[in-house]
Chain A
Amino acid sequence: MITVLIDLLWSFVKIGFTSFGGLSMIPLISNEVVSHGWMNLSEVSDIVAIAEMTPGPLGLNCATFAGIHAAGIPGAITANLGVLMPTFTLTAAAAIFFQKFQKSRRMGQILTGVRPVCIGLLLGVIASFSQTNYIIDSAISLPAILIGIIDFVLLFKWKVSIPKVILLSAAFGLIFFR
């Protein structure tokens, strides 16, 4: 049991440090979990589908799934901690560093460039989600677009909270898709 947990931890520490979130993690994850026999290839593709439908980012969801298959709930916790290792080390250091130099002239210059880049990235994410979420089975889905428009009105005009919008959209999904 302990050796399995150590294996899990090490595999997911590697995954954590070498991946930058999102779909870029899939090849890495699939390599590690398949070679250890924690998941097979079809389970990996299923987990990608599930990870996109459920809350939580892909890396953490795969960690939970593989962890449970390998060693139950303790496995899931261990694998999650592995994926989070960069957060507890690198990001923690970055947080301290960032706080210290936030007021410096050079940091001001850097952020002047990084902010617009992040906006560009956000627009890119919106564009790619628009493709995957409103085009279902390679046809434009009118119900999905209708839900999107309703959500826009709820968020911008009526200032409805995000959790409520998500729950309402699930209800709309049950009504509109048959």
Chain B
Amino acid sequence: MAQWKKALVLFGQFFKFGCFTFGGGWSIVAQMQKLYVEEEKTITSQELLDITSVGRSLPGTMIGNVAMLYGYRVGGMLCGIACVIAMITPPMIILSLITYFYTLFRENVWVMNAMTGVRAAIVPIIASAAINMVKGAFRFPPCYILTAVAFILYLFFGVGCAELVVIGIVGGILICEYYERRELKKHDHSAD
């Protein structure tokens, strides 16, 4: 019973997120950051970053994947499914309406201007999520290099997210092994 209630609450929250999924789903992450990390404190900003990375690198749509991962994390599979369905319902309703009033929508100057305004909000919204997630994302100095490499490969060479995550996995293991071994050596020396 408790799980159904939790799923219902999550359904309401993700339905609201779904109404404002501009910018390819990144604004969802920003909204989750505000509600779950800052207000409810159900997850940390690092966990949200982990969920985002995993969700972004799996096939399908990012927001569906992120919703599933968060829902499962806080309440099991039922909550995961509830989050996904809730998240995609508003875009589906909105686009169904637009499809029927398609030409009207495309040629309306007011609509276009309002949407240009909304698009101008995307960068600040994504930035608000990014700034919070930076905290604790860099465990060792070489991690900054990984960020720079990912940025350059994504922006200038069009490398996909799945490939970038593989680079992150390999890089992470190498960096950690290096630092963990160095730490071990230090202990050996101090033991002598």
Contact = CB atoms under 8 A, between A and B. Distances in A.
A34 interface: no
Contact of B114 (A57, A98, A109, A170): A170
Interface string A124-162: 111111101110100001011101100110011000011
Given A68-B96, A155-B124, A165-B124, A91 B64 contact: yes
Chain B contact surface mostly: helix
B88 A80 contact: yes
A120 B168 CA distance: 10
Interface in B125-165: 125-130, 133-134, 137-140, 143-144, 146-151, 154-155, 160-162, 164-165
Contact of B58 (A91, A112, A171): A91
Given A57-B62, A68-B99, A113 B143 contact: yes
A113 B52 contact: no
A21 B25 contact: yes
Interface residues of A, number: 95
A95 B71 CA distance: 9
* 4 A-B pairs with least C-beta separation: A173-B117, A113-B172, A56-B91, A120-B150
28 contacts: A16-B59, A18-B59, A53-B119, A76-B96, A83-B61, A84-B61, A86-B58, A86-B60, A88-B68, A88-B84, A91-B65, A91-B69, A95-B69, A109-B176, A113-B168, A114-B53, A116-B137, A120-B148, A124-B150, A124-B151, A124-B155, A144-B116, A147-B120, A152-B127, A161-B34, A162-B30, A166-B20, A178-B113
